[in-house]
Amino acid sequence: MNKHIDTRPYSGWEQPEPEQAFIDKHADDLEDWRQIRSQVAEIAIANGWTKAEVTRRSGAKDGTFSQWFSGTYPGRLENINKQLRNWVTAVIEAAGMPEIPTSPAFVKTRISSEIAQTLQWAQMTADLVIITVAAGIGKTMTCRHYRATHPHVFHATISPHTKTVHGMLVELASELDVHENNPSRLTRAIGAKLSRVGGGSLLIVDEAQNLVDDAINQLRHFSDIHQCGIALVGNEEVYSRFVAQVKGRSYAQLKRRIGKHLKRQKPYAEDIAAFIRAWGVTDPECTRLLTGIGLKGGALGQIDKTMKLASMIALGDNREVGIRDIEAAWKNRDVEDMA
Ligand SMILES: Nc1ncnc2c1ncn2[C@@H]1O[C@H](COP(=O)(O)OP(=O)(O)OP(=O)(O)O)[C@@H](O)[C@H]1O
Ligand SMILES: [Mg+2]
């Protein structure tokens, strides 16, 4: 990390002096911030990473990282300082290890086109769509890609901890960069942000099977009042829950709100093949084994994890991945029962 680095090709990592107001406000955390910021810049320059890349790698929120880096972040610095310090430590530690094999970048699979079309429909027509596709086929990957390539798209993920109306609203506020501490104003602030872009926005709610019924209702309300598209993404449960919930009420009136339901339980064979190719595997025997793995629960995700481990094994011996490595990796992962 101490080696001389020619910074000329890497603009964007200059470290401007913040405004006085920022210095005054964050007096307690300022020294940490300066130190971590310079380490982050050093790592980024050494690796040729852009801000977007560091945002992604560090797991920081879009927008937050660049504000933090430039010294304009309005919230508290402490947590972000901590998050980035952990990241810096992890990167430095990892630098002493052999390079970890990386997964292929986004592959335009058939299911990803179907998902993207459904999302686009919701966004264009301010409709509510439901996407229930089996695990590991590429829902989250496609939603991220869609957000990265379309304006006014927000992608929030619900966990068992954020499944309540309030939990969901807090999660949405964070994704939408809404700062409102008063719970009674939160719904309005989020709605305002969703409608600000003039009806062309899309809110993707991932892992939506976790939501409680009232939270689903709240989303429908956003769609109705603020004319934004809503996509509920998750497993089969999302749809059955939605239908169960509306059955007792004015069923027809509520059901008409589902503009489109994309449903798929099994991965397309062509998608498995494309993903295996994207991993650089062409050997027929390896392809056959990986195809079998991809047909199990977890689909492309299973192939990805197995190939990562197989690559690590092969890397340790300094050779290309072969059938033995894939077999060893699959066996080592010991998830056969989960199929
Ligand atoms: N279109 C794609 N391009 C590249 N990689 C993909 C694609 N689809 C899936 N993958 C790989 O498969 C893994 C699982 O995909 P993803 O997380 O999107 O699945 P999911 O459908 O959201 O699953 P879950 O229901 O478990 O949330 C990803 O981490 C990635 O490695
Ligand atoms: Mg997912």
How many whole angstroms from 78 Cα to the centroid of ligand 2? 29
Task: Walk across the sheet containing 153-157 and list its strands.
Answer: 153-157, 202-206, 229-234, 128-133, 258-264
Relative to the alpha carbon of 205, which ligand is closest?
A: 2
At the topology level, CATH places domain 20-95 in 434 Repressor (Amino-terminal Domain) (1.10.260)
310-337 average pLDDT score: 84
Percent of the chain with pLDDT over 70: 89
Is the pLDDT confidence value at 2 over 50?
A: no
Stretch (H or E) spanning 139: helix 139-149
Q: Give the residue, by CA position, lying nearest to ligand 1 atom 7.
A: 138
Mutate to test the pocket of ligand 1, among 112, 130, 141 (most ligand atoms within 8 A of CB): 141
Is the pLDDT confidence value at 184 over 70?
A: yes
State pLDDT tens for residues 291-305: 999 999 899 999 999
Structural contact between residues 275 and 104, judged by C-beta atoms closer than 8 angstroms: yes
Is the pLDDT confidence value at 196 over 90?
A: no
Spatial separation of the C-alpha atoms in residues 255 and 246, rounded to whole Å: 7
Q: Give the residue, by CA position, lying nearest to ligand 1 atom 5.
A: 106
Structural contact between residues 101 and 311, judged by C-beta atoms closer than 8 angstroms: yes
State pLDDT tens for residues 20-60: 889 888 988 988 999 899 889 888 877 778 899 999 999 99
DSSP string, 172-220: HHHHHT-----HHHHHHHHHHHHHHTTT--EEEEETGGG--HHHHHHHH
Is the pLDDT confidence value at 1 over 50?
A: no
How many whole angstroms from 233 Cα to the centroid of ligand 1? 13
Q: Which residue ranges have their beta carbon within 6 Å of ligand 1?
A: 103-104, 106-107, 109, 112, 133, 135-142, 235, 300-301, 304
State pLDDT tens for residues 163-181: 899 999 999 999 999 999 8
How many whole angstroms from 107 Cα to the centroid of ligand 1? 10
What pLDDT shows up at residue 4? 44
Phi first, then psi, for residue 169 (nearest 5°) are: -60, -40
What pLDDT shows up at residue 254? 57
Instruction: Name the pTM for this structure.
Output: 0.72
Mutate to test the pocket of ligand 1, among 107, 115, 140 (most ligand atoms within 8 A of CB): 140
What pLDDT shows up at residue 237? 82
Q: Give the residue, by CA position, lying nearest to ligand 1 atom 18.
A: 138
How many whole angstroms from 312 Cα to the centroid of ligand 1? 20
State pLDDT tens for residues 137-149: 999 999 999 998 8
87-111 average pLDDT score: 82
Spatial separation of the C-alpha atoms in residues 316 and 322, rounded to whole Å: 13
The C-alpha angle 171, 173, 174, rounded to 5 degrees, equals 65
Superfamily covering domain 110-264: P-loop containing nucleotide triphosphate hydrolases (3.40.50.300)
Token representation of residue 333: 């992962």
Q: Which of the residue ranges 88-97, 204-213, 237-246 would you say has the lowest mean pLDDT?
A: 237-246
